[in-house]
Amino acid sequence: MREKKVTINNLLEMKRKGEKIAMVTAYDYHTAVLADRAGMDVVLIGDSLGMTMLGYESTLPVTMNEMIIFSKAVTRGCKRPLVVGDMPYMTYQVSIDDAMRNAGRFMSEAGTDAIKLEGGKHMAKTVEALVKVGIPVMGHIGLTPQSMAMLGGFKVQGKTAQAAVDLLDDAIALENAGSFFILLELVPSVISKVISERLTIPTVSIGSGPDCDGQLLIFHDLVGLFEAFTPKHVK
């Protein structure tokens, strides 16, 4: 197990070598310590904390201030994993200036190593702007919970040929914009395999099959603490 702090270059090297990337969410100090001791490569402070920690019915009500409070706790507990802060709803979609301001808060106030945002081609300019000012960006395509009303709820994406092509185009656009990592959520495994083979940056699956470069699980799903819903990909 790598003892030093995991870096973006380490993740790229793991993809080149065919080594799987282990990723989990954490929302508090003690969970972060557990993830650290377990040897996780990446820890995501997901806006899913709105549902798992705050009792919201979706991720949409989560605010930046709430994310910062939880993120500070997680970064204090994580010594080895690369820590990613999840940009909440409407903190980056309105303008690039908003995105830079709020992403900067994750880095400067909470001490995260990177941020994650949802969206494909239409977010490429935002990703590029963030990367240019030194903020590493993880992309997120497929089922994007902040847009689930438009996507018809929690269901598999990319089932049609055109939808599959669109997902590949989204992934390529994010890589070209400077993303270092892409989360594929509820994408058919055959499509996630094609995307993973096409990109030079790593991909991580949440319900998208075994052929991505890594797997992400929600901590509360993993240990059975979130009783409202248990995803099929949690075993």
What integer is the mean pLDDT of 102-120? Answer: 98
Q: Is there a contact between 81 and 41 (Cβ–Cβ < 8 Å)?
A: yes
Q: At what angle do helices 189-198 and 161-177 cross, to 10 degrees?
A: 30
**In the predicted structure, residue 61 carries a pLDDT above the cut 90:** yes
Q: What is the pLDDT of residues 80-95, one digit of tens each?
A: 999 999 999 999 999 9
pTM (predicted TM-score): 0.91
- Enter the tokens of residue 28: 């508090």
**How confident is the model at residue 222, as a pLDDT?**
83
Annotated catalytic residue 185? yes
**In the predicted structure, residue 67 carries a pLDDT above the cut 60:** yes
**In the predicted structure, residue 228 carries a pLDDT above the cut 80:** no
**Among 66, 128, 185, 227, the one annotated catalytic:** 185
**How confident is the model at residue 144, as a pLDDT?**
84
Q: How confident is the model at residue 53 (pLDDT cuts 50, 70, 90)?
A: very high
Burial class (CB in 10 A: 0-12, 13-18, 19+), 150: exposed
Q: Give the integer Cα–Cα distance in Å for 226 and 4.
A: 32
Beta strand 137-142 with 214-217: parallel, antiparallel or unpaired? unpaired
Mean pLDDT of the chain: 92
214 closest CA partner among 4, 3, 10: 10
Give 119's strand partners.
Answer: 140
Q: What is the DSSP letter of 20?
A: P
**How confident is the model at residue 225, as a pLDDT?**
59
Q: Which domains does the chain have, with CATH numbers?
A: 8-222 (3.20.20.60)
Q: What is the pLDDT of residues 135-161, one digit of tens each?
A: 999 999 998 877 655 544 445 556 788
235 closest CA partner among 223, 21, 191, 227: 223
